[in-house]
A and B are shown apart, each in its own frame.
Chain A
């Protein structure tokens, strides 16, 4: 165990992520197991029903969603991709200077055309 602990790099920033992951996993699994062990078990039709803030469900839980969501989802992915390019740019912003600023202005400018197009075509509206 001591030999294993010697291989752990506590200064690595991802060590904190690992600790968070372990605690989150332990809490979620722990509470499910605890309520399983301690809670009363009375299973009937109502207990198996869908929970809707205590009101009886009026429709099945699996309803068909509108195709309009799909366009929103596609636009979200595309602009999400644009945003991911901003992360390394932001990290390097100072060392890149004005050159980097103009680079990113061109990049965002081209994508701004896409946003204006989406806006004008009414893709952001819900009709």
Chain B
């Protein structure tokens, strides 16, 4: 069952990623990006990383792509002025090289193949929270300073008198 789901969501993620780079309209790319991020979230669930999966859906698929879509709607290039990407020799060679690289990585990975045992319970919400609020407490509190800097930076840039 897990293998079937892994192959299914892995295929959705890869196909979605291919669609992201091949679509002509950026809005279509952004929507396929959401599909890809959802499929990756499903893969996280299969690895018992429940918290990461929830974050993936809430932050990446929910908030970050919304920001992408805002930029696309803000720039709003008319349909007939969208740039057309041509398959130049360099690009074709680049895709081929990437294909060989993936193939060789797969061959190498098979050499060092080790079966993964049952996943330890490190990705559940409880486990992540316990690590976050005890061992990594300082990092957690500093995160709030980072977010504060981002809030002030965004407002300072956006509210600047031009």
**Knowing A71-B158, A114-B147 touch, does A80 contact B132 (C-beta < 8 A)?**
no
Q: Is B18 an interface residue (CB 8 A)?
A: no
Are A118 and B151 in contact, with the CB atoms below 8 A? yes
On chain A, the number of residues with a Cβ less than 8 Å from chain B's Cβ atoms is 46
Are B158 and A4 in contact, with the CB atoms below 8 A? no
For chain A, what secondary structure do more than half of its interface residues adopt (helix, strand, loop), or is it mixed? helix
Are B45 and A114 in contact, with the CB atoms below 8 A? no
Bound form: Cα–Cα A77–B44 in Å:
22
A22 to chain B, nearest CB (A): 11
Tier of interface size on chain B: 35 or more
Residue among B4, B129, B151 making CB contact with A89, cutoff 8 Å: B129
**Considering the complex, which residues of chain A in the window 36-65 have a beta carbon less than 8 Å from any beta carbon of chain B?**
62-65
Q: Is B130 an interface residue (CB 8 A)?
A: yes
For chain B, what secondary structure do more than half of its interface residues adopt (helix, strand, loop), or is it mixed? helix
Q: Is A111 an interface residue (CB 8 A)?
A: yes
Residue among A71, A82, A123 making CB contact with B147, cutoff 8 Å: A82
Q: Is B51 an interface residue (CB 8 A)?
A: yes
With a 10 A CB-CB cut-off, give which of B73, B150, B154 has the most chain A CB atoms: B154
B161 to chain A, nearest CB (A): 12
A58 to chain B, nearest CB (A): 18
With a 10 A CB-CB cut-off, give which of A81, A96, A122 has the most chain B CB atoms: A81
